[in-house]
């Protein structure tokens, strides 16, 4: 059931009803000389059902005291399936009470049988801590001894033994299950012997490489459960995913019952898609999406509407936070009303921010998608999304962080100048009518599968004929040849001295993490940064912004993974440039003739951070640059590519071909997400005026994930539809010679990019 909105302090009571403020903001946006779409989503009444048989009477008594006399229809159905031992996936909107769908069957089973055990998996430690508070509240009200603990990297060593032996419910994350629990299963025998339930929350986050890894972790989990004689029921939950049944089945490796008939109520929501006005007609440049979002958020916060603003990257979170604080600056000594929230903040900082949002002392927060998940941050009045976040699933998750009480809410998408955002602005039905994306995973990706075969063999020997994904036998024999496994009779045993789980990261190609240390009399850690982001964010002389405070990176120790910073006050930030080199290793499929040919294959990509620019705050002028000296990074993955023959480029000069090719790559990468139904950040692009492989002008689209997870194959299938969409954008754009909304930003006013892209696309499509 939805939680009641928090009791705000007297000083934070909203003097004007949010609905009136929202109408005023909408009216102002509609009055601007640009495209603004407004849709109203009507309130939805609740639909209830009776409690299923099997829910413990003691739990029902506690729920009734909390005002939950009847479950919503989706809760009743999910609880019924789970108590009957059927794997279940629940897909309903945010704030629809999904937590009860798994807490009710788990607690009822433990109350009935104290030997029963359950494991909850959350994608982040923050979400696990949030759910621990909810569970402790129920257990305290029950007055029963039900051991409930989190087990993650923050769990003290002396507490871990108690968790292993006394924990009825263990809350953890996939990374800890992979590296800290499964390899040490003999210490967890009490859990695995009686494991009745495995809960997997936020199903939609397990897409791409993360989901492919998790599917293999769950294969290992089921193997160990089978060894100890248990067969757990899986309960999965998600707010937004296009193929929940298919994805849940692929993750669990078994049949799953789908529950998607939502019975929870919802207040009215006003949704606005705002396309900022064009400020430079010749170059097609629009008003900055950051500044438009700042203006909207500042007005809402001034009117005491608690607001969340989403930004697409860590740097933009800090920039937007800086701009908002400048706009809302009060009297000296006044507490800050707005804060940031992103990866890289320390755990205690994030907990304090979440608490401030719940109790109303924080009136605005600027966040990355780290706050997109179901962490309890109270009932916000408005959400402002800066730039289309790459997928409809993410967009509706971010919209859903506001309006969690019974008051109407406002959600605004401020589109940027890139082609995908402009496509959304000009086709608003894409947001309101299109179903959300499907979650694509490939558990049998050889890169991922081989890693988990090693982990599985370390945990338990494999038997001949045992199936652990595709090509199990062949891969086991290869590992024997490499000396990692030894075959003895019909069993494969682990032989290497290495600890395999430590070498496998579930979320990235790298397990490395950099810490950021503020220098001074007493050096202190102020943040952290993952390895792929380090060359761009914490290179030497970079301006690293943390909670609105600027720091300059004085020294980056690449080997020890430490960046040393000092506080500064400058009027610029830094933006690093990445050079990409792509080589074709193998071609699997080739099709097409005439003006364009298509291919699908394996590629090797090298990334090298080369220089950084100094960008002035507010005006975004380039005021200087510097060199970056950091080792290159490598990626092997799958790609599809389009090679344009002479009949497509005839009559175009070399510089025109280069500009048109770069424009097509810019368009195709941004629009691929629409046709591939994935997150735009999962796809990369590269243009080569004369490809060493094809010896022709070529555009590459590749999976930005080691080994690939099937996105390149999907793009190969929809290649002509994708090119048609690219051509439609080029033909309908309002600019003269190219702009960020079609073929990308152009420095010169008479750029050949748009015309060359149009010519090449028209010829390619005949």
- Give the C-alpha distances (Å, rounded to integers) separating 355 from 284, 470, 475: 43, 46, 49
| Average of per-residue pLDDT values in the chain | 85
pLDDT at 254: 94
Taking residues 725-751, what's their average pLDDT? 80
Does residue 683 carry a pLDDT above 90? no
Higher pLDDT, 510 or 468: 468
pLDDT of residue 371: 76
Contacts from 483-487 at CB under 8 Å and sequence distance 24+? 484/454, 484/457, 485/457
What percent of the chain stands above pLDDT 90? Answer: 42
Overall average pLDDT of the 588-613 stretch: 89
With contact defined as beta carbons under 8 Å apart, do 246 and 260 qualify?
Answer: no
CA distance 317 to 336: 16
Identify the band that residue 111 occupies on the pLDDT scale cut at 50, 70 and 90.
very high
Percent share of the chain, pLDDT over 70: 93
Q: Domains of the chain by range and CATH?
A: 22-43+266-432 (3.40.50.300), 57-259 (3.40.50.300), 446-503 (1.10.10), 513-570 (no CATH), 578-612+633-764 (no CATH)
Q: What are 448's two structure tokens?
A: 């991922």
Residue 680: pLDDT band (50, 70, 90) is low
Structure tokens at 462: 């494999």
pLDDT of residue 676: 66
Q: What is the mean pLDDT of residues 112-127?
A: 90
Residue whose pair of structure tokens reads 């702009």 in the numeric block: 739
CA distance 741 to 661: 16
- What integer is the mean pLDDT of 321-338? 78
711-731 pLDDT per residue, tens: 888 889 888 989 998 998 888
pLDDT band of residue 9 (cuts 50, 70, 90) is very low
C-alpha dist (Å) from residue 258 to 86, 199, 261 = 10, 15, 9
| Range in 170-174, 223-227, 317-321, 505-509 the model is least confident about | 505-509
Per-residue pLDDT averaged across 391-408, rounded?
Answer: 81
């Amino acid at each position: 059931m939805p939680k009641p909105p928090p009791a705000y302090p007297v000083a934070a009571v909203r003097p004007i009803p949010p609905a009136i403020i929202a109408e005023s903001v909408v009216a102002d946006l509609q009055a601007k000389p640009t495209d603004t779409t407004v849709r109203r989503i009507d309130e939805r009444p609740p639909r209830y059902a009776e409690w299923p048989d099997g829910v413990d009477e003691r739990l029902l008594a506690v729920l009734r005291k909390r005002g939950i006399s009847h479950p919503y229809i989706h809760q009743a159905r999910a609880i019924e399936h789970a108590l009957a031992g059927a794997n279940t996936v629940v897909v309903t909107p945010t704030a629809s009470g999904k937590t009860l769908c798994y807490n009710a069957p788990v607690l009822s089973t433990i109350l009935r049988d104290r030997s029963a055990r359950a494991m909850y998996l959350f994608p982040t430690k923050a979400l696990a801590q949030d759910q621990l508070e909810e569970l402790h509240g129920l257990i305290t009200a029950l007055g029963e001894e039900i051991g409930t603990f989190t087990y993650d990297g923050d769990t003290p060593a002396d507490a871990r033994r108690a968790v292993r032996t006394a924990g009825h419910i263990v809350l953890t994350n996939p990374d800890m299950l992979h590296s800290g629990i499964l390899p040490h299963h003999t210490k967890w025998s009490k859990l695995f012997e009686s494991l009745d339930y495995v809960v997997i929350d936020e199903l939609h986050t397990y897409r791409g490489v993360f989901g492919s890894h998790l599917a293999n972790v769950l294969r290992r989990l089921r193997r160990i459960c089978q060894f100890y004689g248990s067969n757990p029921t899986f309960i999965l939950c998600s707010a937004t995913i296009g193929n929940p049944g298919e994805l849940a089945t692929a993750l669990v490796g078994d049949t799953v019952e789908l529950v998607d008939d939502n019975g929870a109520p919802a207040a009215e929501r006003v949704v606005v898609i705002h396309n900022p006005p064009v400020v430079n007609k010749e170059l097609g440049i629009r008003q900055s999406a950051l500044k438009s979002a700042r203006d909207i958020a500042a007005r809402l916060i001034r009117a005491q509407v608690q607001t969340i603003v989403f930004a697409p990257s860590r740097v933009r979170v800090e920039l937007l936070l800086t701009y908002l604080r400048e706009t809302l600056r009060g009297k000296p000594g006044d507490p800050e009303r707005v804060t940031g929230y992103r990866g890289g903040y320390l755990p205690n900082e994030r907990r304090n921010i979440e608490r401030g949002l719940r109790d109303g002392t924080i009136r605005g927060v600027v966040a990355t998608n780290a706050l997109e998940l179901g962490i309890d941050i109270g009932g916000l009045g408005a959400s402002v999304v800066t730039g289309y976040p790459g997928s409809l699933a993410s967009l509706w998750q971010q919209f859903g962080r506001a309006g969690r009480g019974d008051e109407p809410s406002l959600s605004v998408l401020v589109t940027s100048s890139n082609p995908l955002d402009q496509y959304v602005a000009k086709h608003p039905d894409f947001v309101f009518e299109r179903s959300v994306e499907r979650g694509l995973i490939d558990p049998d990706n050889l890169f991922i599968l081989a890693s988990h075969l090693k982990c599985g063999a370390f945990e338990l020997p494999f038997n001949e004929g045992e199936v652990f994904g595709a090509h199990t036998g062949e891969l086991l024999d290869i590992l024997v040849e490499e000396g990692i496994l030894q075959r003895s009779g019909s069993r494969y045993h682990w032989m290497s001295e290495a600890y395999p789980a430590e070498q496998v990261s579930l979320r990235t190609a790298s397990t490395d993490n950099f810490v950021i240390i503020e220098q001074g009399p007493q050096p202190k850690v102020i943040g952290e940064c993952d390895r792929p982001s380090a060359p761009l964010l914490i290179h030497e002389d970079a301006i690293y912004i943390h909670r609105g405070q600027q720091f300059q990176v004085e020294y980056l120790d690449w080997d020890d993974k430490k960046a040393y910073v000092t506080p500064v006050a400058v009027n610029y930030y830094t933006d690093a440039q990445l050079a990409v080199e792509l080589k074709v290793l193998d071609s699997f499929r080739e099709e097409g003739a005439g003006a364009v040919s298509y291919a699908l294959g394996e590629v090797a990509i090298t990334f090298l951070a080369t220089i950084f620019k100094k960008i002035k705050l507010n005006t975004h002028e380039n005021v200087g640059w510097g060199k970056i000296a950091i080792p290159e990074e490598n990626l092997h993955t799958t790609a599809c590519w389009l090679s344009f023959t002479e009949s497509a480029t005839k009559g175009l000069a070399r510089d025109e071909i280069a500009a048109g090719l770069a424009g097509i790559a810019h368009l195709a990468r941004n629009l691929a997400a629409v046709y591939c139904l994935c997150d735009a950040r999962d796809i990369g692009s590269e243009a080569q005026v004369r490809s060493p492989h094809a010896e022709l002008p070529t555009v590459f689209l590749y999976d930005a994930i080691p080994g690939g997870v099937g996105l390149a194959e999907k793009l190969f299938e929809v290649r002509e539809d994708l090119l048609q969409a690219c051509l439609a954008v080029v033909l309908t754009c309002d600019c003269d010679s190219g702009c960020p909304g079609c073929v990308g930003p152009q420095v010169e006013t008479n750029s050949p990019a748009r015309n060359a892209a149009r010519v090449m696309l028209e010829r390619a499509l005949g």
